[in-house]
Chains A and B, each alone.
Chain A
Amino acid sequence: MSARTLYDKLFDSHVVREENGTALIYIDRHLVHEVTSPQAFEGLKLAGRRLWRINSVLAVPDHNVPTTDRSHGIADPISRLQVETLDQNCTDFGVTEFKMGDVRQGIVHVMGPEQGATLPGMTVVCGDSHTSTHGAFGALAHGIGTSEVEHVMATQCLVQKKSKAMQVRVEGKLGHGVTAKDIALAIIGKIGTAGGTGYAIEFAGSAIRSLSMEGRMTLCNMAIEAGARAGMVAVDETTINYVKGRPYAPRPEQWDAAVAYWSTLHSDEGARFDAVVELKAEEIEPQVTWGTSPEMVIAINGSVPDPAKESDPTKRGGIERALQYMGLEANTPIDQINIDKVFIGSCTNSRIEDLRAAAAVAKGKHVAANVKLAMVVPGSGLVKAQAEQEGLDKIFKEAGFEWREPGCSMCLAMNADRLEPGERCASTSNRNFEGRQGPGGRTHLVSPEMAAAAAVAGHFVDVRLLLN
């Protein structure tokens, strides 16, 4: 057999049937949250359909949950109804759900891997574009719409056409203070937000191999911001060590067979990719977005671009509109931009390693006077508990950060956490679209280290200066 890519192996091993290039692929794991599932459950009810395989589904409320005191439930009646609808649907259909108040509750893309519900070789879907996160495990994972959520619930399958395969290779050693988030933003800056459209991206190279699972999840999470529905990393010891012992991991008597199979989940030597993008780890610096699309990104020592220097009129118009929305002048050095709020959290950067890294920067310092709110929102109840065990909550609180309950929070501001119009935020989330963190809010995407550094400085600053 000819050399195959990891994507080939994952896709081909799930094809139930194929006709004229359209395949029916089998889905191993279906993660569900409250926003994109109610209409799917309703569709099943109306058609009198059941779930094809109940134990393939795991549900958790995350988008609408409050991150402050939860003893009185959800104040907003519309948010509350959506979460209650998920609870009711899970009861009606027999689906396992980690409800608000359960220590396992958290952002769906943090919860899945944490529970071992995401395993190498799986197909994983969820009605959420950041499902690409799970590809970090050598899985084929991507976001789907609500019609497809219903389709997977009813048939355990998805109608798919195979994507093209792209390899993004990052060789070398990352500098101190440079993270997986910076790799992700640097890649998007290079190929653009549509650069990966139509592709499944495999991240490879020595810099990727040396990332922890948390770092790989951050990277695959952002694959969708490069336009790719799926991102993935080959299985290695890091993957296997992370999975071992988790609640949904293979049982001891299944373990050796599982590991033997997982060890085949990498691109073969000489496998052909439709596109290859290469970056040198040493050249990647801490990144900050300046505009309203993740591709509008620059290194911390750069300046806001000047639209006058752009010759393409559509691009020039885009830069002008972004600068106007962001309230920024062309050519302003990035480290002279003051901020109003800081958000450390989201499915991109709310895992234990992210919180450790941010705490290391914040330790013994204090949030700057001009920063109205700096909040840390752990990705799950278990991340929160782990952080508290390590004393990270104390470090954050002593430095003037708020320490919150787990959920999506101000990444998309569906709950009460949001920016006011005109407020500027250093955010560890994944999208800096207009209004994403609240109408009129201005988002700058950064790593957890860079967000903590901005919090204590009151403006963007090269975290490497604080670490040295």
Chain B
Amino acid sequence: MQAFTQLNGLVVPLDRANVDTDAIIPKQFLKSIKRAGFGPNAFDEWRYLDHGEPGMDNSKRPLNPDFPLNQARYQGASVLLARENFGCGSSREHAPWALLDFGFRAIIAPSYADIFFNNCFKNGILPITLSAEIVDSLFKAVESTEGYKLVIDLETQTVVTPDSQSYAFEVDAFRKHCLLNGLDDIGLTLQHVDEIKAFEAKRKQAQPWLFN
């Protein structure tokens, strides 16, 4: 996993509540057996005017000019500004894969759905929770300021605006450690093989029917 330390990124606003993972990456693209290549189909139904299917040449498809991700001023954005309950619905990890492949490394929203939030950390994306008021003020600032960038520092847990306003955010210590160092969870867990084996042996003794 790619480590996340600090990011000075262009921000793109997505001003909708309850953005679900079906919207982030529609089901027809879930047929892929790979992790990469979902970026061109991120937000497919909102981003293009035609209906997308796997295998199409996305560079030739008609873009929806009203969708922020398509607008010239937001090209190259790596920070997604969103509303509450972002990433609700399906557990598909294809959603963070698509966001990452598109170029997003951080998301800022007032709240997230649990599974999506968790999936982000497994893929080097930092989902930041800030209060609805702060998010609201960021939406206003982004929309009124072309080239609006935020400096996100995971070590100090801060988001700093162009006018040097600093917002602190919370992050779980274990997740922070993994993200800062780009650590693979499996490798970490396998450091505890003996404990897992001991637990399993006890369980098999007490509830043998679980091992039929």
Contact = CB atoms under 8 A, between A and B. Distances in A.
Interface of A: 16-17, 19-20, 22, 24, 26, 28, 35-36, 38-39, 42, 47, 49, 52-53, 55, 63-64, 76, 78-79, 81-82, 85, 119, 121-122, 127-129, 131, 142-148, 150-151, 154-157, 159, 161, 163, 193-194, 197-198, 227, 229, 248-251, 254, 257-258, 261, 293, 314-315, 318, 321, 412-414, 431, 433-436, 439
Contact of A143 (B27, B33, B115): B115
B122 interface: yes
A22 B171 CA distance: 13
B41 interface: no
B174 A159 contact: yes
B46 to A, nearest CB: 9
A229 B33 contact: no
Most buried by B among A155, A198, A229, A261: A155
B186 A49 contact: yes
Contacts of A53: 200
A193 B18 contact: yes
A257 B209 CA distance: 9
B186 A154 contact: yes
Interface in B159-180: 172-174
B93 interface: yes
Interface stretch (B59-67, B70-78, B149-157, B187-195): B187-195
Nearest to A29: B210
B78 to A, nearest CB: 21
Nearest to B120: A145
B185 A147 contact: yes
A144 B91 contact: yes
A129 B90 contact: yes
Contact of B33 (A38, A147, A151, A248): A38
Nearest to B136: A314
Contact of B92 (A36, A150, A435): A36
A433 B89 contact: yes
Contacts of B113: 194, 197, 227
A261 B199 CA distance: 18
A347 to B, nearest CB: 12
B45 interface: yes
A143 B91 contact: yes
Interface residues of B, number: 57
A412 B190 contact: no
Contacts of A42: 33, 35
Interface in B72-119: 83-85, 88-93, 96, 111-115, 118-119
Nearest to B185: A151
A26 B203 contact: yes
A147 B174 contact: no
Interface of B: 16-18, 20, 22-23, 26-28, 30-35, 45, 51, 54-55, 83-85, 88-93, 96, 111-115, 118-119, 122-123, 172-174, 185-186, 189-190, 192, 195-196, 199-200, 203, 207-212
A272 B44 CA distance: 45
A261 to B, nearest CB: 7
Contacts of A157: 189, 196
A363 B23 CA distance: 38
5 contacts: A26-B200, A154-B190, A257-B207, A433-B20, A434-B22
Contacts of A250: 209, 212
Nearest to A414: B27
A227 B195 contact: no
Most buried by A among B54, B88, B192: B88
Contacts of B30: 35, 63, 414
B111 A197 contact: yes
A127 B32 CA distance: 15
Contacts of A55: 211-212
Contact of B196 (A24, A121, A161, A194): A24
Contacts of B96: 145
A122 B33 CA distance: 30
A20 B185 contact: no
B34 A39 contact: yes
B131 to A, nearest CB: 14
B27 A129 contact: no
Contacts of A142: 115
B211 A145 contact: no
Given A17-B195, A412-B22, 9 more contacts: A76-B31, A129-B89, A151-B186, A198-B114, A257-B209, A314-B17, A314-B83, A318-B17, A434-B22
A284 B96 CA distance: 37
Most buried by B among A47, A413, A433: A433
B207 A261 contact: yes
A435 B26 contact: yes
B185 A159 contact: yes
B28 A414 contact: yes
B22 A431 contact: yes
A293 B88 CA distance: 10
B92 to A, nearest CB: 7
Nearest to B26: A435
B35 A39 contact: yes
Contact of A248 (B20, B174, B199, B212): B212
A113 to B, nearest CB: 15
A155 B20 contact: no
Most buried by B among A17, A131, A147, A193: A147
Contacts of B212: 55, 248, 250-251, 254
A147 B93 contact: yes
Nearest to A64: B31
Contacts of B31: 35, 64, 76, 78-79, 81-82, 414
Contact of A145 (B84, B89, B115): B115
